[in-house]
């Protein structure tokens, strides 16, 4: 009898290790079909899940409350499972090199509790070779078992888009791979339980690892191209958004837009590719150039804010700048690797301590990660400049009068709007005498 058969008959269980933006949706969907153990070493997160609270806001409190997932931070519970999915983050170090410590730590935990006949699938983004060259040796050492005989391994890169309620886990095609034909078939059948869009069987684990890094690098490069154009068009006094609207009338336009590129995928994955390429003696040109452009956009926008304050005749150091948005993207609570922080840091270099508003972000995480205190938009008044940094629905739905109320009321006071994502109608505000700048 196969492991898949045992799982659907609830003889064996699935364990999801890492209950964040990737692991939690996986655990929720699998629990609708089979028995699932949800493991995370963050006791605070586990306690929230146990009380029916979803800190990621990816699946929602109701889904958590009605789920049969067994939430735990006790690693010995993993001995009850035979199909392990590791979905922990893989960030980068300050020098932009891969930080593999989370996936290595997860491998240690799973290895200590691995039983014969198990399959371990990694979903964390890595460069080609990590699963086989780094993770398998850890699993073997900690378990005392032999990979290929006592247990098997696969790789299936996560493709979840945090905050996206249209392209969700079940309707995004899943790439799967296994160390051999048998493991590939078992892994495929398990994922087919929940992935309605179907799966793509990669020929090897390395191919699957590379596919994930490449798909995000491609997107990063395309956005970098638009960011470079936006910087040049700013000097030319040309509206970038109008150029894009005109360009998009052609059938094969790619429809990318300029903006801040952060988060745990697009802002990180290209560095994994670059790191491994350089180990092999190849110095990346296109990928690294794209990263350099995108990493510099926070400073560019910060400088644009300073310039607009000066042109408006304001004393820069005394200016009240309000930034709407801190998360790395719209309609998402994830603040990891947010490039909005680069704007904040740049403004502070000029003596400005901006006020930050973000109804989606977790105030505790904002304080821990960036030393930022979050304010409610109702607390904001007498602003000199308001920066629409993240296109949350809450900000897009603000009325013109509500936005006006964020500023001073003096007749001669210049009101500055920095519309990073071009979510406002420029003419509406210029007709009212606002100084308007967009990327």
Would residue 104 count as lying in a domain? yes
Would residue 209 count as lying in a domain? no
Q: How far apart are CA 242 and CA 230, in angstroms?
A: 11
Contacts of 436 (CB under 8 A, 6+ apart): 416, 417, 419, 424, 426, 429, 430
Would residue 179 count as lying in a domain? yes
pLDDT for the residue numbered 1: 61
pLDDT for the residue numbered 161: 75
Q: What is the pLDDT of residues 171-220, one digit of tens each?
A: 999 999 999 999 999 999 999 999 999 999 999 999 999 999 999 999 99
CB 114 within 8 A of CB 135: no
pLDDT for the residue numbered 388: 98
Of 287, 297, 311, 409, the closest CA to residue 343 belongs to 297
How sure is the predictor about 341, in pLDDT bands with cuts at 50, 70 and 90?
very high
Q: Which of 273, 293, 313 is the last residue of a domain?
A: 293
Is pLDDT above 80 for 408? no
Would residue 309 count as lying in a domain? yes
Give me the half-sphere count of Cα atoms (radius 13 Å) on the Cβ side of residue 18. 23
Residues with a catalytic annotation lie at 265
Is pLDDT above 90 for 409? no
Q: What is the pLDDT of residues 229-288, one digit of tens each?
A: 999 999 999 999 999 999 999 999 999 999 999 888 888 899 999 999 999 999 999 999
Asked if 183 and 255 sit in the same domain, the reply is: no
Of 198, 25, 1, the closest CA to residue 82 belongs to 1
Of 54, 1, 2, the closest CA to residue 28 belongs to 54
Would residue 194 count as lying in a domain? yes
Asked if 186 and 266 sit in the same domain, the reply is: no
User: CATH number for the domain including 257?
Assistant: 1.10.1040.10
Q: Which of 293, 322, 346 is the last residue of a domain?
A: 293
Q: What is the pLDDT of residues 40-57, one digit of tens each?
A: 999 999 999 999 999 888
Is pLDDT above 90 for 10? yes
Number of domains in the chain: 3
CB 216 within 8 A of CB 265: yes
Asked if 242 and 340 sit in the same domain, the reply is: no
Asked if 51 and 182 sit in the same domain, the reply is: yes
Q: How far apart are CA 80 and CA 113, in angstroms?
A: 9
Would you state the structure tokens that stand for residue 132, as one six-digit string?
A: 């086989």
pLDDT for the residue numbered 167: 78
How sure is the predictor about 101, in pLDDT bands with cuts at 50, 70 and 90?
very high
pLDDT for the residue numbered 265: 83
Asked if 196 and 250 sit in the same domain, the reply is: no
Asked if 196 and 300 sit in the same domain, the reply is: no
- Across 313-342, average pLDDT: 94
Q: What is the pLDDT of residues 55-82, one digit of tens each?
A: 888 889 999 999 999 999 999 999 999 9
Would residue 208 count as lying in a domain? no
Q: How far apart are CA 261 and CA 344, in angstroms?
A: 15
Asked if 243 and 327 sit in the same domain, the reply is: no
Asked if 103 and 145 sit in the same domain, the reply is: yes
- Domain with 149 in it: 3-203
Is pLDDT above 90 for 165? no
Cα separations (Å) of 234 from 191, 310, 362, 416?
47, 17, 34, 16
Contacts of 283 (CB under 8 A, 6+ apart): 277
Would residue 349 count as lying in a domain? yes
Asked if 263 and 301 sit in the same domain, the reply is: no
Asked if 78 and 30 sit in the same domain, the reply is: yes
pLDDT for the residue numbered 267: 86
CB 139 within 8 A of CB 152: no
User: CATH number for the domain including 339?
Assistant: 3.40.50.720
Q: Which of 252, 272, 293 is the last residue of a domain?
A: 293
Strands (E), 23-89: 36-39, 70-72, 81-86
- Across 137-148, average pLDDT: 98
CB 336 within 8 A of CB 369: yes
pLDDT for the residue numbered 266: 87
Asked if 230 and 350 sit in the same domain, the reply is: no
- Across 34-44, average pLDDT: 96
Would residue 386 count as lying in a domain? yes
Is pLDDT above 60 for 411? no
Of 421, 417, 423, the closest CA to residue 437 belongs to 417
Asked if 258 and 185 sit in the same domain, the reply is: no
CB 3 within 8 A of CB 151: no
């Amino acid at each position: 009898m196969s492991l898949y058969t045992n799982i659907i008959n609830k003889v064996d269980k699935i364990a999801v290790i890492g209950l964040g933006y990737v692991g939690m949706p996986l655990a929720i969907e699998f629990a609708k079909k089979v028995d699932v153990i949800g493991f995370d070493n963050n006791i605070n997160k586990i306690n929230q899940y146990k009380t029916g609270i979803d800190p990621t806001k990816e699946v929602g409190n109701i889904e958590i409350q009605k789920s049969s997932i067994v939430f735990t931070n006790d690693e010995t519970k993993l001995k009850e499972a035979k199909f392990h999915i590791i979905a922990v983050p893989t960030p980068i170090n300050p020098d932009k090199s891969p930080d593999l410590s989370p996936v290595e730590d997860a491998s240690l935990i799973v290895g200590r509790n691995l039983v014969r006949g198990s399959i371990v699938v990694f979903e964390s983004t890595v460069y080609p070779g990590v699963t086989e060259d780094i993770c398998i040796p850890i699993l073997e050492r900690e378990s005392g078992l032999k990979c290929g005989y006592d247990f098997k391994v696969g790789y299936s890169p996560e493709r979840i888009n945090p905050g996206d309620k249209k392209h969700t886990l079940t309707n995004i095609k899943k790439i799967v791979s296994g160390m051999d034909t048998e493991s590939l078939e078992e892994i495929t059948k398990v994922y087919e339980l929940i992935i309605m869009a179907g799966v793509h069987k990669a020929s090897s684990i390395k191919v699957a690892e590379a596919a994930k890094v490449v798909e995000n690098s491609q997107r990063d490069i395309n956005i970098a191209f638009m960011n470079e154009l936006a910087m040049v068009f700013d000097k030319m006094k040309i509206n970038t958004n109008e150029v894009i609207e005109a360009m998009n009338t052609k059938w094969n336009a790619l429809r990318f837009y300029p903006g801040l590129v952060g988060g745990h995928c697009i802002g990180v994955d290209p560095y994994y590719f670059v790191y491994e390429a350089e180990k092999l003696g190849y110095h990346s040109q296109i990928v690294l150039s794209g990263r350099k452009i995108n990493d510099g956009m926070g400073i560019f926008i910060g400088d644009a804010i300073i310039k607009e304050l000066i042109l408006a005749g304001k004393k820069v150091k005394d200016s009240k700048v309000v930034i709407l948005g801190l998360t790395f993207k719209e309609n998402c609570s994830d603040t990891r690797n947010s490039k909005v922080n680069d704007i904040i840091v740049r403004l502070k270099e000029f003596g400005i301590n901006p006020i930050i508003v973000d109804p989606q972000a977790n105030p505790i995480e904002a304080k821990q990660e960036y030393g930022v205190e979050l304010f409610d938009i109702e607390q904001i008044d007498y602003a000199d400049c308001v920066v629409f940094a993240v296109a949350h629905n809450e900000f897009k739905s603000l009325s013109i009068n509500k936005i006006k109320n964020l500023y001073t009321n003096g007749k001669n006071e210049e009101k500055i709007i920095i519309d990073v994502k071009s979510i406002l109608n420029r003419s509406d505000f210029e007709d009212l005498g606002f100084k308007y700048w967009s990327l």
